[in-house]
Every structure is written in structure tokens, then in C-alpha cells.
Amino acid sequence: MAPAATSEHTPLDPFDLPEGHPFGAHNLPYGVFSPAGQEPRVGVRLGDHVLDAGAVAAALGSPYGTLLARPNLNPLLAAGRTAWSDVRRALTGWVTVPAHRETVRAHLHPLDSVALHLPFEVADYVDFYASENHASNLGRLFRPDEEPLKPNWKHLPVGYHGRAGTVVVSGTDVVRPSGQRKAPSDPAPVFGPSVRLDIETEVGYVVGTPSAQGTSVPLAGYRDHVFGICLLNDWSARDIQNWETVPLGPHLGKSFATSVSAWITPLDALDAARVAAPERTVPLLPYLDDSAPDAEPAGYDLRITVSLNGEVVSEPPFSGMYWTGAQMLAHMTVNGASLRTGDLYGSGTISGTEENERGSLIEMTWNGTRPLKLSDGVERGFLEDGDVVTLSAWAPGPGGTRVGLGEVTGRIVPAPVAP
Amino acid sequence: MAPAATSEHTPLDPFDLPEGHPFGAHNLPYGVFSPAGQEPRVGVRLGDHVLDAGAVAAALGSPYGTLLARPNLNPLLAAGRTAWSDVRRALTGWVTVPAHRETVRAHLHPLDSVALHLPFEVADYVDFYASENHASNLGRLFRPDEEPLKPNWKHLPVGYHGRAGTVVVSGTDVVRPSGQRKAPSDPAPVFGPSVRLDIETEVGYVVGTPSAQGTSVPLAGYRDHVFGICLLNDWSARDIQNWETVPLGPHLGKSFATSVSAWITPLDALDAARVAAPERTVPLLPYLDDSAPDAEPAGYDLRITVSLNGEVVSEPPFSGMYWTGAQMLAHMTVNGASLRTGDLYGSGTISGTEENERGSLIEMTWNGTRPLKLSDGVERGFLEDGDVVTLSAWAPGPGGTRVGLGEVTGRIVPAPVAP
């Protein structure tokens, strides 16, 4: 649970938001909140407020009260695409039809008066590696004598399972992990707090509708199974990861914490942001081939900002991702692996072609050799204790509006002293 | 859910089991069962019967009824070491004290009259790689020009996260997975059902007591956090795995199914089977160092049998595993990763030094080049549709008895026809 914000500014009138406000009635992302001293429940963000969705549904005699008056989003996620659309239509009506205004107002809470919680119980967590620029940068850094991309990279979205139990909501402190590391010059591994703690700027996809083991979900099943997206920071201890990673991939370098934004933006709020994926440079097998002229675009034009201690250090563009969320889902299930409500999968680090579009410090600083120059002469190769990293984003909305995705933020706290 | 067995032999009298029966009162493993037409509930195996644990607890006025009258083991797992010992002591009394005999008998169900279910909700699933013989064999097969073990192997238990949502109970059919594969001679990857479907003979450790994110569990915390063990078959599609695995490790080659035995053997039933781990050939960092003279042995002498269509094909010895369950747990949490009730971690494939002690077909057949010769002239490189694989095991018990671990079995069914 993230502590309630402490700023005391006067929240905007939710029924008179400035034009184009990123959390207007065109957005309505879902989260879980608790007013002081009360139990967590599902909320919907409107401007600087959160609407108690189950309470307003009950007050208005809506049949969706039972889906919404819950401590997390899982029942809504499990209800499926038709219910998601119906509930969103109902919510849109409640917050826009003047006759409901006083009822809605009675169930609004200023955002800075509530605590925000992990919005859903995470079932399985898979992390992909879908940015060609990121995968190429890491290839150049770690395997300078080889082709930057492995031979499989353009044939399938490479991914691996992460630790679902350490996914935390934005605002949760991240304890610096300890572990083994070994530089090539070290005669043996040493143990201690990571000295190369990094971020990974990602988008997370939240699965609602489950699927049966032994079946697969085609590309066209994406919108039936995926409820929405969030921002995701896949904190990474590069030194721990580098030593452990052969031959079975990352483990403790990642498993200590993964942060997600408090707000899940439904796919239905992102229609205006959809973009086609980049042209493929190798032919895809049919189950991944999204080149049909009538295929729905499954990429998103998200404008992401990465801040370190309040200074913007990068603006990675999501629209250039090689693999889409629909392809990741089709690949993840093509072997018959089932989906469960609450499954989360991440895009992998988002990096653009430019130096100021990279989504991890290891890329921004080229493995620490070119430290970031922050204000007041401060430099950063990797994260120091006390550093605060914030990812925020918006997407183009209908009629020139913006759809806010909120933020995912976390502060690094020191490793515990070894016993 | 596995279907109820259909054999109709007369079950043994549970109060007059033959001496040394592997499921006598010295064992009492836990599972989840349902009598025909009834709901699943916690059961304890006694001979050829399963005891409805919650019902007998209620009938005898025991305070443990609330922990046991449940649809899975998670509440008992969450209750912690003291409760585990107390419940086991109570159960042992109920099935051995003559005064309780008729009450107990009223709550016994013949095993072949019930269905067995996945005994606990799996939280996170991690698979290790703890057998030196297995890791060396795979190194020789896949990287013949290198040292068989990677440089990190003797410094830390290498492991990775698997898919918790596809863990199934023994008896569940396994659908042959489809996916991409690419032989070195193929110009591009091809798609289709796996043609190199394999098994991995493993032991699974079931976590009961959770731990807080940002803290670690020392070696000495093993028995406080781990409730018991099971048999585990980590089905593996070698062709899919081989193509996808760089640089982030196995994913779809494993995620389609992992089978576990229906019975969880509590650590308290395995005291007589404890053995010291093999001598370490490199010094270990303190958090993994189990060489103190007063350290409790955390290895187990399990006698495992691997059968293919009823013929024994291997007998891998668990006592020789390089890394113990206590070390895997200490490593998995040393970075501050939390534990949740229901976490499952696997030992990795168990292989001995001898050819008839290998735990996977890829080792037994040396990558398919030396097929197994079964009766009636049948040969097997990898698994064919209809094949049934069964892992079974027992451990030395008190006074020369045997502690049965039951079995984990699964039949391969054909991949669905592509749409």
C-alpha cells in the first residue's frame, strides 16, 4: 500500500474540469483506494478525485454494484469484455448526466485524502523484451562481438516469467536488493547490496478473461482477454542479473520488486491512441502475423516520461515497439498455456532510436560509462539510495484530448544491514 | 482434477496395514479429495484410504477443524510450523488410539472412490537446476566445446520462474504443446506440435509461512517456511525451448504444464530420510554455507522410479543433489523477494552418475541418439502421444519403515489440430 499523498491543494471541481484534462470523463481508469480508516474498494479516477464505484452503483440501483463493491478489480476483470463495456458505459453516464451529479458527488474522495493499493491480485507475471532498440542496445553492451539481436528475436516475442508476489503499487519503497555479483576481474563472487540498480520503463497488460489449458488465444482474441494497461517499472539489479543469468535467464536480479501504476486504463479508453506496429523485416508465422489489411492496430501511441528525482531524463516512445500486446498474448498461449484472471505481462523496456528515448539507465549511461548529468552537478550512473524514479504517460484521446495513465513511482531505500 | 481411479480391488484395513506399509500412520501425507458428487476438501492418506481430515476433527471436537475443513491446503500452510506439528500430532493420535477407531472409520473413503485435486493454490513457481549430473549432462549435450557447468553453477543454485497457473495434479492429461522450433539446418523457424517432448523428474518444495518483502530467509529458516515436499514432473518441449531460450531463458518450452503429486509429504515425516548434502568443491558465501558441524542435514534420501508406459526406465537418486531445499530457499529470498503461502519451488531434474539414474529423456537417450529399448521392440527417443509417464518415490522412515511419496503421472494427448 502506498501512503496517502500529503499535499493539500484544493482539488478541481470534477464536473468542471479544464478542457482536455487527462482524467476527464473520456478516461475513467480503475484503481483500488481506501479512505482513511476504511477498507480498500474499487475506485475510478475523475480529475483530482476518486469515485467509490461500488457505492455509487448501489446508490443508483445499478446491477454492477456486486462487481464493483470489492477489495480489488479481479471480479470485474473476470466478468469479461461485454461486462467491461457495459460498466464503462454506465460509469460514463453517471459522471456526465447532470441528474446523477449530486449522487456522484456524495461518493467522490479527493485523491490526496485516500491511500491507493495494488489494484488487482496478480496471477502470473511474464515480462517480454519487445523493443528492438532496447534489445539491440543490450546486445551491443553485453555481446559487442556478435549481432546485437539473437537469431530468434524477430521471429517471436522473447519473454520469461517474473515473480508475481513482489509486484507492488506505485509509491511503495523499493529496498535495494543484495546478492552475488562477480566482475570479470574478481577471482570469486562477492556478496552485498547491488551497486548497479536500474529501472526498466515498461507498459503492463492486465488479463481479465481466463482461457483453458491446452487451448491458445489468437491475435484476434486480444480485446476479449486483455482488460487494460498500466505503467510498469521492472526494477533490475544489473550486477546480480549479469552473474546469475546463464543459462536459465534473469531471477534474483529482477524478483525483488516490480512496480505498477495505481490506475489501470481500460483498452476502451485507448481507441484514439491505436497505431499499427512497425513494418516487420522478416515474415512472421501465421499465429503472429498481424499484416492482414483489415487487422486492427494493436500498438499504442503512448507518450512516456522518465523522471529521476524530479528531473526528466528520458521520453521513450511506445509507438515504435516491434511486438504488440496482441502478439505477446498469442505467443504466450500458443503452447496451450492457460490464462488466469489477474495475469500481468510487461512489454519489456521501451527505448526509442534516440539517446533521450532510452528506458533504462544502463542504456542512458551506456553501462555507467557516461553518467547522467543532473542539476547542481549531480551525476548518476545507476540508482543511489534515496533516489526517486517516476514514470508517467498519456495517450491521445478522442477529439484532441489526452488520456492520462498516471504514474508509477518508487524510492530506493538502503539494503538492510547484513545479520 | 484427476478422474477417480476405476480399479475395484478391496482396500486394506487401515487399522491393520502390513508392517512397513508406505502409507502407515508414520507418514500421513496431505491432499485434497472429493467423494463422488461432493465438494473438494482436505484429506490425509492412510493405506488405501483417505481420511476426511476436517470431518474427523469436527467429530472429535478438535480445534483444528477450521484449518482442515477447507477446499485446499492453503489455510493449513499459512498456519505455520507450530500448527503443522500440532495438527500432525493430533492426526497421528486419531488414527492410532483405539478409542477413536470407529469415529475415524466413519470418515475414511477408499482411494479408488474419490477424485484427487491440486492440493494447494500455487502462488509463485520457481524451478531450480540443482543436480550437478543433470546440469553437466545438459552442458555436454548443448555446449560440447565448453566446460559442462557455467562459472556460476557451484556458487549459487541457478533457477528461474515458471508458470504457476499451469501446475496440475497427477493424473491430468498433458496436451502436446505446439510452438516454434528451428533446427540449425532450417532456414527459418517452423510451427507445429513439439517433436521432442520430454519429462523432468523433480522434487517440489511447498512453502507455507510467508515472509515480508525486503527481508531474507536464512538457511536455518527452512523448516519454519517449508511445509513439505511433493513429486514434480516439469514437462519440457526441448525443441521449443532450444529456439526460444536466448537470452532470457526457458518460457513456452515449459509453461504448458507442470504436474505435481496429489500428496504433500510433511517435512516432519521425513526426519529419518535426512542426509547431508555432498561435499562442496568450492567455498560458499555465508548465506549458502551449510558446512557448519552443527548444521542440520537438509538433503533427503528419496528413492525415485521413473516409468514409461509401465516399464521402469530410470531410478534417479535424490540424495546426491548438490543444492538442498534450504539453500534454494535462502538464495531465492536473499534479495528481499517475499514468500507467499503456496509458493512452490522445484529441485530441477534429478540425475545420478549412472546411465540408469537420469531424470530426463534427453539425458537417457543422449538427445535422442540412443533411443530407449522398451519391451516388444518399442523404442523411444522422446514422448509419443498416448505415452504415460509416472514418477514414484519413497523415503526411509522410522524403524526401517518406508514413507511413500505417492506418484505423479500424466498421459500425453495429441496437440489440437491447428485452426
Reported as a single tens digit per residue, the pLDDT across A88-141 is 999 999 999 999 999 999 999 999 999 999 999 999 999 999 999 999 999 999
B140 with B98, same domain: the answer is no
Tell whether residue B92 is among the known ligand binding residues: no
Do B23 and B4 form a contact (C-beta atoms < 8 A)?
no
pLDDT digits (tens, 9 = 90+) for B71-83: 999 999 999 999 9
What are the percentages of helix, strand and coil residues in chain B, rounded to 5?
Answer: 25, 25, 45
A363 domain residue, yes or no: yes
A150 with B247: Cβ contact below 8 A:
yes
- Minimum CA–CA partner of A236 in chain B: B335
Question: What residues of chain B score a pLDDT lower than 70?
Answer: 1-8, 418-419
Q: What is the pLDDT of residue A293?
A: 77
Residue A1 has pLDDT above 80, yes or no: no
CA B231, CA B393: separation in Å to the nearest integer?
8
CA A55, CA A336: separation in Å to the nearest integer?
39
Q: Count Cβ–Cβ pairs < 8 Å, chain A vs chain B.
A: 194
Residue B99 is part of which domain span? 30-117
B141 with B97, same domain: the answer is no
CA distances from A360 to A306, A318, A347, B163 (A): 9, 14, 13, 26
Reported ipTM: 0.96
> For chain A, how many structural domains are there in total?
2
Residues of B in contact with A123 (CB under 8 A): 164-165
A234 with A284, same domain: the answer is yes
CA distances from B390 to B168, B195, B309, B386, B393 (A): 14, 20, 8, 13, 10
B186 domain residue, yes or no: yes
H or E stretch covering B102: helix B101-105
Q: What is the pLDDT of residue A5?
A: 46
Phi, psi (rounded to 5 degrees) for B134 = -65, -50
A92 with A182, same domain: the answer is no
B13 domain residue, yes or no: no
Q: CA A354, A358, A362: angle at the middle one, nearest 5?
A: 125
Hey, which residues of B are catalytic here? Answer: 134
A249 with B249: Cβ contact below 8 A:
yes
A418 domain residue, yes or no: no
A111 with A129, same domain: the answer is no
CA B118, CA B98: separation in Å to the nearest integer?
32
Q: Which residues contact B371 (CB under 8 A, 6 or more apart)?
A: B365, B379, B380, B381
Q: Which residues contact A347 (CB under 8 A, 6 or more apart)?
A: A128, A130, A131, A202, A203, A204, A205, A232, A318, A321, A323, A325, A328
Pick from A160, A178, A248: CB nearest B159: A248
Q: What is the pLDDT of residue B297?
A: 85
A171 domain residue, yes or no: yes
Quick one: cell of B328?
A: 534454494
Residue B17: count other Cβ atoms within 10 Å of its Cβ: 17
**Of A170, A176, A168, the residue nearest A413 (C-alpha):** A176
Structural domain ending residue among the three candidates A86, A117, A148: A117
B335 with A240: Cβ contact below 8 A:
yes
B81 with B136, same domain: the answer is no
Q: What is the pLDDT of residue B6?
A: 45
Q: What is the pLDDT of residue A8?
A: 57
- The two beta strands, A226-233 and A201-207, are antiparallel
Task: Read off the CATH number of the domain in which B394 is found.
Answer: 3.90.850.10
Residues of B in contact with A252 (CB under 8 A): 331-332, 334-335, 337
- Minimum CA–CA partner of A250 in chain B: B248
B90 with B214, same domain: the answer is no
Q: What is the pLDDT of residue A418?
A: 64
Q: What is the pLDDT of residue A419?
A: 52
A177 with B123: Cβ contact below 8 A:
no
Structural domain ending residue among the three candidates B100, B117, B134: B117
Q: Which of B140, B335, B341 to mutate to test the interface with A (most CBs of A within 10 A)?
A: B335
Burial bucket for residue B184 (CB in 10 Å: 0-12, 13-18, 19+):
exposed
Q: Which of A150, A152, A161, A328 to mutate to test the interface with B (most CBs of B within 10 A)?
A: A161
B41 with B90, same domain: the answer is yes
Tell whether residue B258 is among the known ligand binding residues: yes
A212 domain residue, yes or no: yes
B247 with A158: Cβ contact below 8 A:
yes
Q: What is the pLDDT of residue A338?
A: 98
Residues of A in contact with B283 (CB under 8 A): 188
B98 domain residue, yes or no: yes
Residues of A in contact with B126 (CB under 8 A): 251
For residue B247, whether the previous peptide bond is cis, meaning omega lies within 30 degrees of 0, is yes
Residue A24 has pLDDT above 90, yes or no: yes
B87 with B229, same domain: the answer is no
Give the DSSP letter of residue B325: H
The three-state DSSP-derived secondary structure of chain A is CECCCCCCCCCCCCCCCCCCCCCCCCCCCEEEEEECCCCCEEEEEECCEEEEHHHHHHHCCCCCHHHHCCCCCHHHHHHCHHHHHHHHHHHHHHHHCHHHHHHHHCCEEEHHHEEEECCCCCCCEEEECCCHHHHHHHHHHHCCCCCCCCCCCCCCCCEEEECHHHEEECCCCEECCEEEECCCCCCCCEEEECCCEECCEEEEEEECCCCCCCCCCCHHHHHHHEEEEEEEECCEEHHHHHHHCCCCCCCCCCCCCEEECCCEEEHHHHHHHEECCCCCCCCCCHHHCCCCCCCCCCEECCEEEEEECCEEEECCEHHHCCCCHHHHHHHHHCCCCCCCCCCEEECCCCCCCCHHHCCCHHHHCCCCCCCEECHHHCEECCCCCCCEEEEEEEEECHHHCEEEEEEEEEEEECCCCCC
A107 with A200, same domain: the answer is no
Residue A73 has pLDDT above 70, yes or no: yes
A106 domain residue, yes or no: yes
Structural domain ending residue among the three candidates B84, B117, B150: B117
User: Under DSSP, is residue B386 helix (H, G, I), strand (E, B) or coil?
Assistant: coil
Q: What is the pLDDT of residue B5?
A: 47
CA A28, CA A324: separation in Å to the nearest integer?
23
Task: Read off the CATH number of the domain in which A53 is found.
Answer: 2.30.30.230
User: Under DSSP, is residue B364 helix (H, G, I), strand (E, B) or coil?
Assistant: helix
Annotated binding site of A: 127, 129, 143, 200, 202, 234, 241, 254, 258, 349
pLDDT digits (tens, 9 = 90+) for A31-50: 999 999 999 999 999 999 99
Active-site residue, selected from the candidate residues A26, A49, A109, A134: A134
A68 with A182, same domain: the answer is no
Pick from A245, A248, A255: CB nearest B337: A255
CA B124, CA B326: separation in Å to the nearest integer?
17
Do A40 and A120 form a contact (C-beta atoms < 8 A)?
no
Q: What is the DSSP string of B198-265?
A: E--EEEEEEE-S---TT----GGGHHHHEEEEEEEE--EEHHHHHHH-TTT--STTTTT-EEE-S-BE
**Of A237, A240, A251, the residue nearest A163 (C-alpha):** A251
- Categorize the per-residue pLDDT at A252 as very low, low, confident or very high, splitting at 50, 70 and 90: very high
- Minimum CA–CA partner of A417 in chain B: B215
CA distances from B140 to B48, B145, B159, B352 (A): 44, 8, 19, 15
CA B39, CA A297: separation in Å to the nearest integer?
45
B375-B377-B380-B384 Cα dihedral, nearest 10 degrees: -90
CA B50, CA B111: separation in Å to the nearest integer?
6
B144 with B105, same domain: the answer is no
Tell whether residue B143 is among the known ligand binding residues: yes
Do B120 and B73 form a contact (C-beta atoms < 8 A)?
yes
Residue B336: count other Cβ atoms within 10 Å of its Cβ: 24
Pick from B243, B251, B285: CB nearest A189: B285
Residues of B in contact with A158 (CB under 8 A): 244, 247-248, 251
Q: Which residues contact A68 (CB under 8 A, 6 or more apart)?
A: A41, A42, A53, A54, A57, A76, A87
pLDDT digits (tens, 9 = 90+) for B203-246: 999 999 999 999 999 999 999 999 999 999 999 999 999 999 99
H or E stretch covering B35: strand B30-35
Instruction: Kindly report the average pLDDT of chain A as a whole number.
Output: 95
CA A360, CA B286: separation in Å to the nearest integer?
32
User: Under DSSP, is residue B139 helix (H, G, I), strand (E, B) or coil?
Assistant: helix
Residue B211: count other Cβ atoms within 10 Å of its Cβ: 20
